[in-house]
Chain A
Amino acid sequence: QLQLQESGPGLVKPSETLSLTCTVSGASISSGGYYWGWIRQPPGKGLEWIGSVFYTGNTYYNPSLRGRVTTSVDTSKNQVSLTLTSMTAADTAVYYCARHARLTTNWFDPWGQGTLVTVSS
């Protein structure tokens, strides 16, 4: 059974860079054909797509975050990574990783349990 698990710091200072990892188990990223997406949810608010990375390493980002976000895959570790620079309080959210089969189709399944990131000094 495919499972995703996010990990990273729960607290980040303003202006610093956030680095999160999504560890995939139950399937190999390198087996191909899937995108791996990052979605976040500020406390009490809705979902926002951050970006996605194909198993080949091709990346696609939310235009509103482009320039601050980087995603990558490490097939040797079966992990997907997210980096978000210049963090502010507005970036406080639960960050999820999820798999999707087509870039231009909203079909995220499954999702990781999410990790709460708080931006505060």
Chain B
Amino acid sequence: QSVLTQPPSVSAAPGQKVTISCSGSSSNIGNNYVAWYQQVPGTAPKLLIYDNNKRASGIPDRFSGSKSGTSATLGITGLQTGDEANYYCGTWDSGLRAGQVFGGGSKLTVL
């Protein structure tokens, strides 16, 4: 199982808002920056958010990131059908087995 915990699936209607959570520990999210990636099936992941809340180049402000303690959240407002994808959180884990870690991914369905 993944070091970071995400809900397997989330859903919302077009135009609505959705949040995706990412839970970790003090050795990863608690003391390191978090990134979020969008992956449309059959394509490579694309960086959405880095350093907890900074949008990557070209990413609309409908996407936002936040972090509190050992959890992080991705928010998407004004949902569009094109937002249907898998979303992954990632961070550095500075524990005994240090390295880059990712969440298991959350499948977003726009109903």
Contact = CB atoms under 8 A, between A and B. Distances in A.
Interface in B45-64: 45-47, 50-51, 56
Interface residues of B, number: 28
A105 B47 CA distance: 13
B68 interface: no
Contact-residue size bin, chain A (C-beta under 8 Å from the other chain): 20 to 34
A64 B44 CA distance: 23
Given A104-B32, A108-B35, A96 B45 contact: yes
Contact of B100 (A37, A109, A110): A37
Nearest to A37: B100
Nearest to B101: A49
Contacts of A113: 43-44
Contacts of B102: 46-49, 106
B44 A111 contact: yes
Interface in B70-111: 88, 90-92, 94, 97-105
A106 B35 contact: yes
B94 A46 contact: no
Contact of A62 (B51, B99, B103): B99
Contacts of A107: 33, 35, 47, 50-51
A46 B45 contact: no
A7 to B, nearest CB: 15
Given A46-B105, A48-B102, A104 B92 contact: yes
Contact of A46 (B32, B34, B43, B103): B103
